[in-house]
A and B are shown apart, each in its own frame.
Chain A
Amino acid sequence: MNLPVRHAAKPQIEACPQETGALLPVALTAHLRRLESEAIGIIRDCFAAFRRPVLLYSIGKDSSVLLHLARKACAPARLPMPLLHVDTGWKFREMIAFRDRTAREHGLDLIVHTNPEGLRRGIDPIASGSALHTRVMKTEALRQALDAHGFDAALGGARRDEERSRAKERIFSHRGPGHAWDPRDQRPELWSLFNTRLAEGESMRVFPLSNWTELDVWDYIEAERIPVVPLYFAALRPVVRRAGTWIMVDDARLPLAPDEQLEQRMVRFRTLGCYPLSGAVESAAATLPAIIAEMRAASTSERQGRLIDGDEDASMERKKREGYF
């Protein structure tokens, strides 16, 4: 189930990708320019320091921003690392379509990996529960793919404002054998003098967007006109009410309880994952300015709609210690 999908390279990527965009770019604020340069600096250190880096591409807004920055970091050259998508088999159909279109349009090297063992065991987010599903189809699958390809550094779009254990993590986060994170013994990280050295069997997770906030990400998407999956924008979608949130019925695999009713509602998503585990919010925000305005007024955090974080206390930290992203 290891499908390297390779697309022919586009003839030549232009030096400054957005210059050729049909729309004029909005000038970035000093704040965003500083974050952008910081992220590009981090990404270039990865190009130079690691034998085989990979960009973990989860198709969400943060991945879109990360990919955009990685392409800027190497422009006009072709991205010198592949994209890895760990596919649980339960992503929204619109996400998969967006992923394949993005890879095709930019001539990217996309690797899609699904845990064959999990498929064989029939692990799914509904019957197996989100904890087991996450462990097998995300954590284990990621470890499999990283080991199989010998990636020594994996770049991801995680931000420190997402969750309080992420707020504790280094930008260059060292992982011991088995990809385990040891939060009690992180390497000191001073200035931007990153320690990129690894012993055999060790690897690095790198988070160029560490210091960005959710709002920074949206402001940047707007200013740079970065395409994102349409699910972020409000539209009429088939949903059911479940666990205090709206779950979209993306295909026929979602069993409905007798008291659950399929409804059409104007909803959108703040984060994207496996569709049975991603809650939507009711919203009329169908444009970027509307989304940003809605977010400024929001009284809940973006992770609120995710059904997986509430599984157990400190679940994110535990997953990371087991080698989760």
Chain B
Amino acid sequence: MAFDAATPNARETLRFLACGSVDDGKSSLIGRLLWETGQVMDDTRAALARDSRRFGTTGEAPDLALLVDGLEAERAQGITIDVAYRSFATARRSFLVADTPGHEQYTRNMATGASGCDAAVLLVDARKGLLVQTRRHATICALLGIRDLVLAVNKMDLVDFDEATFHRIAAEFAALATSLGFRSATSVPISARDGDNVTTASAAMPWHDGPPLLTLLENLPLQRPELAAPPRLPVQWINRASPDFRGLCGTVAAGTWRRGDAITIATTGATSRIARILSPDGEREQAEAGEAVTLILAEEIDAARGDLLAPPDQRPAVATQFAADLVWFDAEPLFPGREYLLRAGTAWTPCTVTRIRHRLDIATGATEPADSAAMNEAVLANLSTLQPLAFDPYAECRPTGGLILVDRATNRTVGAGMIRHVLRRAANIHRQAGLVTPTARAALLGQSPRVVWFTGLSGSGKSTIARLVEQRLHAAGRATMLLDGDNLRHGLNRDLGFTEADRVENIRRAGEAAKLLAEAGLIAICAFISPFRTDRRMVREMLPPGGFLEIFVDAPLADCIQRDPKGLYAKALAGEIPNFTGIGSPYEPPEAPDLILRSTPGTTPEMLAEAVLARLAAP
């Protein structure tokens, strides 16, 4: 065999993925590469023969896809569900390959496999040519910054190794690759099942004059653009080994740091110099992108996990408003206004998408307006973070330009983003601190401003109790204001309907309005169904600690339906009002409300209002 089965470790490693539509032969191809480079040991071969008889799709021959489809469900269904990472080596190069699933449902796993890759092998079935899913994967590769693509036109055995078929598909692919801006795009006709043009030239396709796939992979350029980018280091962990040792630990994200270099914390501007660089193999004069190091600074400055270190004269952008390409992963769609947690580098911050600028139509490459993003869709969006974020455009520096979004309630990773640029609007708008502070305004009124937020089903009695509470407070000489969901929908929120996206925006505006009232020194009493936990938390986090009082008016749905003061339940049950909370749309009760109000026989709204006043009076 031409290959050295073991992996002499001296060579560089190319990280690539295999992608493309369902059943186009990705796993079979990776299995074939592992097989022919001597990665498959005798015991694994024996197990493969057993499995092939049981699950295989290739008759008597071993089904090489089973070498990588390692989950029970994958073998039983003959498909790939999640990424498999495998390594192999030739005399020239080591490879780490991610075999990704073709099914649209598992696109997030394909994106997982593609992140961090240097190159991609895109497969198509020679009988089918480029499909929408092929284009989706090519688009995701492009968004994630992969520059080199190899198109493997597979199953050539099923089209009689026809030259014209290959050239037709290769031409179509060349057009796609150009429109997506890849640096290199090469096509090769193969049969993964039989091994034609995989590691050796195919006798069945003498008309093809290019090298086999493996040779192409051995010769792809291996570049690490972050090496040439300005130095960056996200602080990961502070090492306080002893009272007189304080090290900033992290992996160099870009460029080269040298002993004596000046450094700045991007978000605070604090500046110092590097006194020592400790690397895993001892003290060093310099450290480059990819190395895990500990920096000891000449002058102590305040630094913490999440800070990004940069040279004072080559700083990253620092902003709370920026534009990013997002790929959405979750079954629950992305809505502007809803709050997520964002991780970029080592920093975490709450974040909302303020606007979706357009959606990418994967099939045509065109952009179209959108107000939400469903699973597997790609959009360009404006984001707004609670804390200022330091970053570089993803195109200039991948390690400091990527981000993930995490759902606050479920902790699922719901999306990934590639930052494009700071929003000009944000760059020029700075907060203006007034001469009179909220505290001073409240002092003049002699009260502690609050947002008293009633949440509960329609007809649960929120508005009735809220009105009584305002009346009592007013009588006691307090300055108040009542915000009611229905009333706001006649004015400020007149343009909003009842889709999930509009409901989120409805609550965001109500929250902002309540916040202004509180800053004016008032006690803002708000009655909103506000069915979603994340939205209520969003309002809570707009306000200072203790400024938000969540009051859950807990009336059973059956009672509300029976009461039906506005006749809405009757209509909703008759199917006339879609998305009605409790009927067509869920209500998420608070997990830790500040007060729960429950009507039992004999309780009056007045008694419940008293309970609220008592809670307000409590410290």
Contacts and interface: CB of A to CB of B under 8 A. Distances in A.
Nearest to B241: A77
Given A75-B278, A190-B112, A211-B87, A165 B71 contact: yes
Given A164-B67, A167-B86, A195 B411 contact: yes
A211 B402 contact: no
Nearest to B279: A16
Interface stretch (B3-11, B148-156, B309-317, B473-481): B3-11
Contacts of A82: none
A210 to B, nearest CB: 7
B86 A160 contact: yes
B341 A190 contact: no
A91 to B, nearest CB: 24
A44 B237 contact: yes
A41 B251 contact: yes
Contacts of B73: 183-184
Interface string A163-198: 111111010000000000001101111111101011
A187 B112 CA distance: 9
A44 B292 contact: yes
B283 A301 contact: no
Contact of B281 (A18, A189, A210): A18
B368 interface: no
A206 to B, nearest CB: 14
B553 interface: no
B280 interface: yes
A7 B85 CA distance: 39
A151 interface: no
Contact of A160 (B11, B85, B404): B85
Interface in B301-315: 305
A197 B41 contact: no
Contacts of B236: 41, 44-45, 48
Interface in A129-173: 160-161, 163-168, 170
Bin chain B's interface residue count. Answer: 35 or more
B546 interface: no
Contact of B411 (A12, A38, A197, A297): A197
A314 B72 contact: yes
B242 interface: yes
A193 B403 contact: yes
Interface in B506-522: none
Interface stretch (A28-36, A57-65, A116-124, A261-269): A28-36
A192 B402 CA distance: 10
Contacts of B209: none
B491 to A, nearest CB: 39
B41 A299 contact: yes
Given A167-B86, A197-B341, A36 B72 contact: no
B72 A317 contact: yes
A167 B84 contact: yes
Interface string B82-118: 1111110000001010000000000011011001100
Nearest to B407: A197
Contacts of A297: 5-6
B214 to A, nearest CB: 19
A37 interface: yes
Given A195-B343, A301-B41, A29 B413 contact: no
B434 interface: no
A183 B75 CA distance: 13
B85 A31 contact: no
B343 A77 contact: no
Nearest to A76: B241
A191 B1 CA distance: 35
Contacts, number: 195
A45 to B, nearest CB: 7
B346 interface: yes
A15 B278 contact: yes
Interface in B566-590: none
B242 A190 contact: no
Given A190-B402, A191-B115, A295 B239 contact: no
A259 interface: no
Contacts of A304: 41, 43
B239 A48 contact: no
Given A12-B242, A76-B245, A187-B412, A167 B404 contact: no
Interface string B250-282: 110000000000000000000000000010111
A250 interface: no
B281 A16 contact: yes
A161 B82 contact: no
Nearest to A316: B70
B112 A188 contact: yes
B13 A72 contact: no
Nearest to B50: A313
15 contacts: A33-B280, A40-B280, A41-B250, A48-B236, A75-B294, A76-B239, A76-B241, A164-B70, A168-B71, A168-B84, A188-B109, A188-B112, A195-B343, A197-B411, A199-B411
Interface of A: 12, 15-16, 18-19, 25, 27-34, 36-38, 40-41, 44-45, 47-48, 72-78, 160-161, 163-168, 170, 183-184, 186-193, 195, 197-199, 202, 210-211, 213, 215-216, 219, 295-301, 303-304, 313-314, 317-318
Given A186-B109, A190-B416, 9 more contacts: A73-B292, A77-B241, A77-B245, A167-B68, A168-B83, A191-B116, A191-B402, A211-B85, A216-B7
The list of the 7 closest CB pairs from A to B, nearest first, reads A164-B70, A296-B6, A77-B241, A40-B292, A190-B115, A37-B292, A197-B411
Interface of B: 4-7, 9-13, 41-44, 67-73, 75, 81-87, 94, 96, 108-109, 111-112, 115-116, 236-237, 239-242, 245, 249-251, 278, 280-283, 290-292, 294, 305, 329, 341, 343-346, 398-399, 402-404, 406, 410-413, 416
